[in-house]
Amino acid sequence: MITPRSSLLGTGMETSEFIMPSGYECLHERRVALVVRREWAQAARKALSPLPHAWEKIRLRTFTARGRAGIVSFPLGDTGATMMVRRYMHGGLLAAVTRDLYFGPERALEELDVAEVAHKGGVRTTEPLGVLLQEESGPFWRLAYLSMEVGNSEDLIHYCCRLTDYPPETAALEKRGVIREAARQIRKMHDIGIFHGDLHLKNLLLQRQASDTPKVYIIDFDRAKAGPSLSVEERFKNLARLARSIRKVRVANTLLTTWDRLRFLREYVRGMPDERALMRRWARKLAVSGRSHEIWWTATRAQRALRGDSVDVARRLRAGGSDRG
């Protein structure tokens, strides 16, 4: 259903349009709109109510996940489910000027569209719930993305830090299963035409199972693109981004061996045309991916901390909590 953007806020002034995802509805109060999955609409609204003060409630809650934007959680009534809310926030030089202000609501709505494509296409990801949009002065908006919590989970950076706590044989066996599972989920995402905007270790969640290989979830489809298919070059570009993130985080780069990377590639290219030739070519290129970034990573304090250039940093990271949605 095509809906005027400004009807999000009940103004009746048609300025531009967006496509309301199937199964969603729009709730609005004053200058705030909640585009939310229909079956969770009332529970989400109650958790954030009153909507005009939702941003204050979000800011007052303690972050439950690490990362630039930060994620907070809200229980959805007595259902036992938990909603994760991720604010959109600028990074880099823009952060000091624009902070969390964006031109229009399109960025959040586009992420919701791609997340729906991934979810319906069978990619294991957090269940999308909707977006929270607040119109500010002029063309500026504040945006937040809503999803279900993935319980008992951690991102792959934290997983790599914890892996050394297990007996070597147990850790190696589990690691091989996680690598293959990650390859299968990324391959499935690419097969349905999604190019992830920021494919790195923090956007891969691992959920432990009682007696099976941990499940791997792909999260954060901000700036991702969905189309009919991905070319071989686009697939490689996405995998190269993931390879750079591994090289950046030293503890991951140490634990993930050459054989681990080959296992990942072997699982990813399985069944593709000319898979052996493709694997050989990609293996050579991915082995050097990120080397040109080494000087920058080593020169900046923040990147040194992320890379784990000391044992204390890795230990602090290991104790720092988990990303759950």
Report pLDDT digits (tens) over 20-78. Answer: 888 999 998 989 999 999 999 999 999 999 999 999 999 888 776 654 457 899 999 99
Say how many C-beta atoms besides its own lie within 10 A of residue 80's C-beta. 7
pLDDT over 90 at 90, yes or no: no
pLDDT score for 166: 83
As a whole-number percent, the residues of the chain with pLDDT over 90 amount to 60
How far is the C-alpha of 112 from the C-alpha of 118, rounded, in Å? 10
On whether residue 226 sits in a domain, the answer given is: yes
pLDDT score for 307: 55
Among 148, 183, 209, which residue terminates a domain? 148
Among 104, 133, 148, which residue terminates a domain? 148
On whether residue 305 sits in a domain, the answer given is: yes
Q: Which domain holds residue 96?
A: 2-148
In Å, how far are 69, 154, 181, 282, 303 from 324, measured between CA atoms?
A: 14, 6, 18, 31, 23
- 207 pLDDT band, cuts 50/70/90, is very high
How far is the C-alpha of 63 from the C-alpha of 72, rounded, in Å? 5
Most confident range (mean pLDDT) of 10-24, 55-69, 193-207, 283-297 is: 193-207
For residue 105, give the nearest of 137, 147, 58, 143 by alpha carbon.
143
On whether residue 324 sits in a domain, the answer given is: no
- 122 pLDDT band, cuts 50/70/90, is very high
pLDDT score for 170: 83
On whether residue 325 sits in a domain, the answer given is: no
On whether residue 74 sits in a domain, the answer given is: yes
- 236 pLDDT band, cuts 50/70/90, is very high
pLDDT in tens, 277-289: 999 999 999 988 8
- 222 pLDDT band, cuts 50/70/90, is very high
Q: Which helix or strand (DSSP H or E) is residue 182 part of? A: helix 168-191
pLDDT score for 289: 81
Cβ(181)–Cβ(213) under 8 Å? yes
* Residue bearing the bigger pLDDT, 6 or 259: 259
On whether residue 160 sits in a domain, the answer given is: yes
pLDDT score for 249: 87
Q: Which residues contact 125 (CB under 8 A, 6 or more apart)?
A: 115, 118, 119, 217, 218, 219, 221
Q: Are residues 207 and 311 both part of a single domain?
A: yes
pLDDT in tens, 127-180: 999 999 999 988 899 999 999 999 989 999 999 988 888 888 888 999 999 999
| Span 209-227, average pLDDT | 92
Q: Are residues 177 and 51 both part of a single domain?
A: no
On whether residue 180 sits in a domain, the answer given is: yes
Q: Are residues 191 and 283 both part of a single domain?
A: yes
Q: Are residues 314 and 165 both part of a single domain?
A: yes
Instruction: Give pTM, 2 decimals.
Output: 0.86
pLDDT-wise least confident of 211-220, 238-247, 283-292, 310-319: 310-319
Name the 3-class secondary structure at 220. coil
Q: Are residues 178 and 203 both part of a single domain?
A: yes
On whether residue 10 sits in a domain, the answer given is: yes
Q: Are residues 166 and 242 both part of a single domain?
A: yes
Q: Are residues 124 and 54 both part of a single domain?
A: yes
Among 113, 131, 148, which residue terminates a domain? 148
Average pLDDT, the chain: 85
Q: Are residues 19 and 144 both part of a single domain?
A: yes
pLDDT over 60 at 181, yes or no: yes
| Span 281-308, average pLDDT | 72
Name the 3-class secondary structure at 44. helix
Q: How many domains is the chain partitioned into structurally?
A: 2
pLDDT score for 12: 39
Q: Are residues 73 and 206 both part of a single domain?
A: no
Cβ(282)–Cβ(232) under 8 Å? no
- 248 pLDDT band, cuts 50/70/90, is confident
Q: Are residues 144 and 169 both part of a single domain?
A: no
- 91 pLDDT band, cuts 50/70/90, is confident
Q: Are residues 194 and 101 both part of a single domain?
A: no
Q: Are residues 129 and 211 both part of a single domain?
A: no
User: Domain with 233 in it: what CATH number?
Assistant: 1.10.510.10
